[in-house]
Amino acid sequence: MSVFDNAAFRHHNSVHFFSDEETGLQAIIAIHSTVLGPALGGCRLVSYANSDEALQDVLRLSRGMSFKNSLAGLELGGGKSVIIPPKSWGGDPGFQGEGRAALFRAFGRAVQSLGGRYITAEDMNVSVEDAQNMALETDHVVGLDVSQGGMGDPSPLTAEGVFLGMRACVRRAFNTDNMEGLSVAVQGLGKVGWRVCESLHAAGAQLIVADIMPETTARAARLFNAKIVDTDSIVTHEADVFAPCARGSVINDETVNALHVKVVAGSANNQLSRGELGKTLMERGIIYAPDYVINAGGVINIAPEAKGQVNHEWVNNKIKSLEDTVGEIIDTSLREKRPTNEVADEIATRRILDARDAGKAWQPAFLKKPALRQSA
């Protein structure tokens, strides 16, 4: 199928393929929209079965970034990039040997060649150190360490946004702000999930936890008096709230009718295996906080860097506003009997289209139209 006929390509601004023989770099950068500002979205390094699969992933993700950045009220468009691990690495994205730094420098040059239309950052299997290697070659990388003038680890901010967004859901589902005694099933106790548990425990919630790392769940049992369940049954475990903080597609055709909660609110990306399941959740009376809204703390944290700034106060205020944003989406959903994910997509799209229609679309200086030549 031609890329232009691919449904995921629709509305994309541009897609760029890069290769570098010397380092083995094979990368795709997709720019979905630059209406609200330069397209910001991370770079992931994944062993795809083939380049079609890599293309599909980057197109889907870059569109998602347009929605996420728009809904978070950022002056940023949406884009994303993927790197296919070189054959010399045995296809292993975690390869740490010689050549890794050079590959990320080559990727940095690719980003630089787009003149600031795309801003990259870390994502799956791409570390702060990899981003620092990109930064040797491009001005357009964010998510750098504090020591390098960056905003630092976004996970605590993401966790705070999830906690506040969850509170907005709880207020609507149980008519209270008080988390005391509320049972919350948390899947994944990583950088975000662990901090969400900390906040919930401090607020008096009862935790039910699952992680593939038994030492992590044992620690949660010790420190938070959490009940441990296995990684599959956590999804359908009876509780007031389910917080997916590990991986995507946990709400799918098999699990959607087996959920035993009133609220789904967590940090994982792409929680619904397909968008239509938002309607099933609504019909079951389950309040779902759309993933890209509630987990926007990470991108909010790096947004000042895209303007060459470090501004923790602005970030903290913006994270606090997530509670109202999630609440307004739920209120609209309840009032208009439309799934929360549909309401969120509509708000995000409208902001982009309004800016475009008002002639306020962002343009990098180098793309501005030249003045009309005077005819002789």
Q: State the Cα–Cα distance between residues 22 and 105, nearest whole angstrom.
A: 12
Distance CA 122, CA 41 (A): 9
Q: Shortest distance, CB of residue 211 to ligand NAD, whole angstroms?
A: 4
Hey, what are 151's tokens? 């905003």
| Nearest to ligand NAD of 113, 269 (CB atom) | 269
Q: Which one, 30 or 220, has the nearer CB to ligand NAD?
A: 220
191 is catalytic: no
Residues that bind ligand NAD (CB under 6 A): 154-155, 158, 187-193, 210-213, 216, 231, 245-247, 267-269, 295, 298
Range 62-65 contact pairs with CB under 8 angstroms and sequence separation of 24 or more: 62/12, 62/30, 62/31, 62/32, 63/8, 63/11, 63/12, 63/32, 64/269, 64/270, 64/292, 65/32, 65/39, 65/40, 65/41, 65/299
Q: Look up residue 13 and give its amino acid.
A: N
- By beta-carbon proximity to ligand NAD, the closer residue of 110 and 209 is 209
CB of 295 to ligand NAD, least distance (A): 4
* Catalytic one of 80, 191, 337, 369: 80
18/194 with CB nearer ligand NAD: 194
Least distance CB 240 / ligand NAD (angstroms): 19
What is the rounded CA–CA span in Å between residue 28 and residue 55? 7
**Residue sitting closest to ligand NAD (CB):** 190
| CA distances to 10, 151, 241, 352 from 358, in Å | 22, 32, 41, 10
The dihedral built from the CA positions of residue 144, 149, 155 and 160, taken in this order, carries a sign that is negative
Q: Smallest distance, Å, CB 248 to ligand NAD?
A: 6
Alpha-carbon distance of 287 to 171, in angstroms, equals 11
Residue 143 CB contacts under 8 Å (≥ 6 apart), including other chains: 42, 121, 122, 128, 131, 150, 151, 154, 302, 305
Give me the least distance between CB of 160 and ligand NAD, in Å please. 10
Of 143 and 278, which has the nearer Cβ to ligand NAD?
143
131 CB-near residues (< 8 Å, 6+ apart) = 104, 120, 121, 122, 141, 143, 144
Look-up: residue for tokens 């792409």?
A: 270
Six-digit token string for 80: 């994303």
Instruction: Output 26 or 81, the one with its CB closest to ligand NAD.
Output: 81
Nearest CB to ligand NAD, comparing residues 79 and 154: 154
For residue 237, the minimal CB distance to ligand NAD (Å) is: 12
What count of residues does the chain have?
A: 376
* Residue 351 Cα to chain centre, angstroms: 19
What are the structure tokens assigned to 298, written together? 């990470």
Cβ at position 299, least distance to ligand NAD in Å: 7
- At residue 65, φ and ψ (nearest 5 deg) are -70, -35
Residues annotated catalytic, as ranges: 80
